[in-house]
Amino acid sequence: MKEVDVVIDLADRDVVLGRLIAGELEVEFATNVRWEGRTLELVAIHLYGAGANSMGIRTLRKAVQALMLLLDVDQVIVEGALRTTGAATGPAGSGPRLPRRLIFNREVR
């Protein structure tokens, strides 16, 4: 599985713009953030990049784990935004995609 780098390009109040880089693949993201204790919530996240499922859920999971280490949080909750273009527009979870809300916990080794 590819190593994933998380690059934060802009963080202003509750808005974060950044990139997920896995080898030659790069996906940009924009999200609102909320903090509660040691939990980070990525609200209405948008992913832009190489195409549908180009990164895959395993690589995205690695990206979230890297983000947890970078920000020293124990849990990240990812909530997708409404899809406005392409196939199956509308609320996430209304088609053959990931659920609207994913919860990731820090891996203990």
pLDDT at 94: 44
Asked whether the beta carbons of 39 and 77 are under 8 A apart, the reply is yes
Vertex 65, ends 92 and 16: CA angle to 5°?
60
pTM > 0.85: yes or no: no
DSSP string, 50-89: SSTTSSHHHHHHHHHHHHHHHHT-SEEEEEEPPB-SSSS-
Instruction: Indicate the pairing of strand 75-80 with strand 39-48.
Output: parallel
pLDDT, tens digit, for every residue of 51-109?
Answer: 777 777 788 888 888 888 888 899 988 887 666 665 555 555 444 444 556 777 776 65
pLDDT band at 1 (very low <50, low <70, confident <90, very high): low
**How confident is the model over 26-42, as a mean pLDDT?**
91
